[in-house]
Chain A
Amino acid sequence: MSENKDLLVLFKNVAARIDKRGFDHVTRESVITELGIDSLSMMQIVGEMESELGVMIPDEDLVEIRTVGDLVRKVEARSAA
């Protein structure tokens, strides 16, 4: 759970760095498209998280992602593997 929370913080930090705006209000329930993050920005965020954590998120994981929580769970699973 704490891992999950840390990944949420990482997501917020990476998204803020990339999109040049605040994401403090984001929760795991936030829907990514509703945050104004388009598909290219999403790929940029994933690339930065991969780089920071030293993991690779396969493309098949990305098709099912709708909320920030979905992404965080996928990243956590790949980090644990």
Chain B
Amino acid sequence: MKRRVVVTGVGMVTPLGHDAESTWTALREGRSGVGFIQDFPTDKLRSDVASMVKDYDARAFLSNKEADIYGRVVPFSLGAAIEALRMAGLDHPKAEDEVPRPGGTRLPVDPSRIGCFMSTGQGAVDIFEQQILKSAERGPRAVSPFFIPAVMLNIVSALVSMRYGFMGPSYNIASACATGTHSVATGTLMIEAGEADVMVVGGSEAATRLNTVAGFGNARALGRSIDGDPAKTSRPFDKKRTGFVMGEGAGALVLEAEESALKRGVKPIATIAGFGMTSDGEHLTRPHSEGVGLRLAVERALARAGIGPGDVGYINPHATSTTQGDIAEYAALHEVFGDRLATIPISATKSMLGHLLGGAGGVEAAVTALSLRDQVVHPSINVDELDDAFKLDLVRQERRVDLSYALKVSAGFGGHNCALVLGRA
């Protein structure tokens, strides 16, 4: 029999707040984190908006040199991981041990049984831009020797494991916009399979730079401000949706074997009851028009959780606000839930935060865990006119719910799908 996995901590660094609680409050209030891009001219770009983290100070856990070497993605991700570990009662850095390890740790869980998948899809794109420019201007010998560790996608999993002396499985899982969700699913699998007792998992991204905005824009994936208002751009399921908003930030969860949490007296926030992971096997960027792969992922997640579609009381969808993506996702969900889909509360975190790419699944899974903890779901904003193609119970204002199981769905470029079923603790 597989081990039960619970969530004992969450952390977030987002455009709406520098921690989980402030982000969660802002989401419940229906606030948007989207603004005009200020860091570079947008007149030749296909998008003029982004959802940016403002004034984040990483000096509590990064030296000035480290802050200089690493891209924006690192402090966001590390900050979210540290917050999640603090909530879980596991924030005991190795450097603060009074007696050297082994034997000296204050960690209440064997560090060789703790691993980390703090993943990113794109990594430090700002450092790529910076170092390539440096090479072009001053020649290849001016490229920093820290360029490689700074841009490797596993940098944060490495930094977390080094900070705490975690010696369990740690690496990066990349599946574009499903990165964070796949990290939660695979972390759950690690604990279920007995490879670890605790996994710090989630995702982060900071691809709000000139060339990544250009690339996504030229792929016709991004939206522009509407009526001069950047906050109106991200509008999943609305008739006037045109594309997603590039976002940045990070979301982390501490997953733990239930018996480990019980043993040390930590109250779980939620459970990870099931997951499903599939691929479309069809197209590089376009989702399957009927959402076949995504439907299969949801069905597998429900089966693994041992529940039926009738048990799901809330859906946190992928919902990027692209024309095709929302249609494919609706098709997948309708196939699973039938006409009952129209009665299940659903709200898109991306309507307020934009699309955090590799960070989206981490933040949205953490948000879903908090929905289960507080028995409250946040609204979806900007649905001025629900697209005729959809029959949905879109949550327009924060709503109290009696929630036993929630579904979190993600899909990424490459045709990668991942669904999670989270349960009430």
Interface residues of A (CB under 8 A from B): 18-21, 40-41, 43-44, 47-48, 50-51, 56
Smallest CB-CB separation from A17: which chain B residue?
Answer: B68
Question: How does the 8 Å CB contact mask read for B15-48 relative to A, with 1 for contact and 0 for none?
Answer: 0000000000000000000000000000000000
Task: Assess A21 versus B65: contact at CB under 8 Å? Given A40-B146, A44-B146.
Answer: yes
Q: Tell me how far the C-beta of B359 lies from the nearest C-beta in chain A, rounded to whole angstroms.
A: 27
Choose one: B65, B67, B68, B142; the contact of A47 (CB below 8 Å): B142
Known A-B contacts: A20-B64, A20-B65, A20-B68. Give 11 more (CB < 8 A): A18-B65, A19-B65, A20-B67, A21-B65, A40-B145, A40-B146, A40-B149, A41-B145, A47-B141, A47-B145, A51-B139
B57-75 interface mask toward A, CB cutoff 8 Å, 1 = contact, 0 = none?
0000001110110000000
Chain A residues within 8 Å of B144, by CB: 44, 47
Which of B64, B141, B143, B149 has the most A CB atoms < 10 Å from its CB? Answer: B141
- Nearest CB of B to A21, in Å: 7
Smallest CB separation, A14 vs chain B (Å): 12
Chain B positions within 8 Å of A44 at CB level: 144-146
Give the docked Cα–Cα distance between A56 and B64 (Å).
Answer: 28
Instruction: Give chain B nearest CB distance to A49 CB in angstroms.
Output: 10
Q: Which residues of B contact A (CB under 8 A)?
A: 63-65, 67-68, 138-139, 141-146, 149
> Given the complex, which residues of B lie within 8 Å of A50, measured CB to CB?
141-142
Q: Nearest Cβ in chain B — how far from A75, in angstroms?
A: 14
A47 near B64 with CB under 8 A, answer no
Tell me the minimal C-beta distance from B387 to chain A in angstroms: 51
Q: In whole angstroms, how far apart are the Cα atoms of A50 and B67 in the complex?
A: 24
A43 touches B68 (CB 8 A): no
Q: Closest Cβ of chain B: how far from A46's Cβ, in Å?
A: 9
Residue of B nearest to A57 (CB): B141
Q: Which residues of B contact A47 (CB under 8 A)?
A: 141-145
Closest B residue to A18 by CB, please name it.
B65
CB atoms of B63 and A51 under 8 A apart:
no
Select the residue from A20, A21, A56 with max chain B CB neighbours within 10 A. A20
Tell me whether A43 and B63 are in contact (CB under 8 A): no
- The CA-CA distance from A21 to B65 in the complex, in Å, is 8
Flag if B63 contacts A56 (CB, 8 Å).
no
Q: Which residues of A contact B141 (CB under 8 A)?
A: 47, 50-51, 56
Cα–Cα distance between A43 and B149 once the two chains are bound (Å):
14
Return chain B residues, CB-CB under 8 Å to A41: 65, 145
Question: How far apart sit A19 and B65, CA to CA, in the bound complex (Å)?
Answer: 5
Smallest CB-CB separation from B68: which chain A residue?
A: A20
B77 to chain A, nearest CB (A): 21
Q: How far is the CB of B87 from chain A (nearest CB, A)?
A: 31
Q: List 23 A-B pairs, Cβ < 8 Å.
A: A18-B65, A19-B65, A20-B63, A20-B64, A20-B65, A21-B64, A21-B65, A40-B145, A40-B146, A40-B149, A43-B145, A44-B145, A44-B146, A47-B141, A47-B142, A47-B143, A48-B142, A50-B142, A51-B138, A51-B139, A51-B141, A51-B142, A56-B141
Report the minimum CB–CB distance from A34 to chain B (whole Å). 17
Instruction: In the A-B complex, list the 6 residue pairs whose CB atoms are closest, starting with the nearest.
Output: A20-B64, A43-B145, A40-B145, A20-B65, A51-B142, A19-B65
Query: Which residues of A have CB within 8 Å of B139?
Result: 51
Cα distance, A51 to B139, chains bound together (Å): 8
Chain A residues, CB < 8 A from B146:
40, 44
Q: For A40, list chain B residues within 8 Å (CB).
A: 145-146, 149
Q: Which residues of A contact B64 (CB under 8 A)?
A: 20-21
The smallest beta-carbon distance between B59 and chain A, in angstroms, is 11
Interface centre among A41, A43, A47, A50 (most CB of B within 10 A): A47
A57-B271 Cα distance, complex, nearest whole Å = 57
Q: How far is the CB of B113 from chain A (nearest CB, A)?
A: 30
**CB of B41 to closest CB in A, whole Å:** 29
User: Measured between alpha carbons, how far is A35 from B146 in the docked complex, in Å?
Assistant: 19
- List residues of chain A with CB within 8 A of the CB of B145: 40-41, 43-44, 47
A56 to B139 CA separation, bound complex (whole angstroms)? 12
Distance (whole angstroms) from the CB of A4 to the closest CB of chain B: 23
For residue A19, which residue of chain B has the nearest CB? B65
Once the chains are docked, how many angstroms separate the CA of A19 from the CA of B143?
16
A56-B142 Cα distance, complex, nearest whole Å: 11
User: Which residues of the other chain, A, contact B138 by a CB distance below 8 angstroms?
Assistant: 51
CA distance A42 to B268 in the complex (A): 46
Chain A nearest CB, measured from B63 CB (Å):
7
Give complex CA distance A21, B64 in Å. Answer: 8
Distance from A40 Cβ to chain B, minimum over Cβ atoms (Å):
5
